């Protein structure tokens, strides 16, 4: 049983480190909202027109990255 837990912890740390590495990358602001087909002008110095769009897009990006990692 301990082996399984160790393995799970290792995998968890791997995902965590990958998430931190992805987060640390500086992202340049965009003039247009980056959320899918929104197309609204984004708020000054951000990449999104609203908090909702930012959360939506971050969830999407996160799920894409997670699919790549788990392969
Ligand atoms: Zn938007």
The answer to whether residue 48 is domain-embedded is: yes
The answer to whether residue 69 is domain-embedded is: yes
Tell me, in angstroms, the distance from the centre of ligand 1 to residue 40's CA: 5
- Which residues, in sequence order, are CB contacts of 20 under 8 Å at separation 6+? none
| pLDDT grade for 2, boundaries at 50, 70 and 90 | confident
How many domains does one find in the chain? 1
The answer to whether residue 58 is domain-embedded is: yes
Has residue 11 got a pLDDT over 90? Answer: yes
- Radius of gyration (Cα) for the chain, nearest Å? 16
For residue 55, the enclosing domain spans 29-71
- Which residues, in sequence order, are CB contacts of 69 under 8 Å at separation 6+? 14, 15, 18
Has residue 43 got a pLDDT over 60? Answer: yes
Tell me, in angstroms, the distance from the centre of ligand 1 to residue 67's CA: 24
The answer to whether residue 56 is domain-embedded is: yes
Tell me, in angstroms, the distance from the centre of ligand 1 to residue 51's CA: 8
Residues lining ion ligand 1 (Cβ < 5 A) are: 33, 35, 38, 40, 49, 53
> Which residues are bridge partners to 41 per DSSP?
32
Has residue 23 got a pLDDT over 60? Answer: yes
């Amino acid at each position: 049983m301990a082996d399984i837990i160790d393995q799970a912890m290792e995998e968890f740390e791997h995902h965590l480190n990958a998430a931190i590495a992805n987060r640390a990358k500086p992202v340049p602001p965009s003039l247009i909202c980056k959320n899918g087909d929104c197309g609204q002008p984004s708020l000054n110095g951000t990449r999104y027109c609203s908090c909702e769009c930012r959360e939506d897009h971050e969830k999407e990006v996160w799920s894409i990255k997670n699919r790549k990692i788990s392969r």
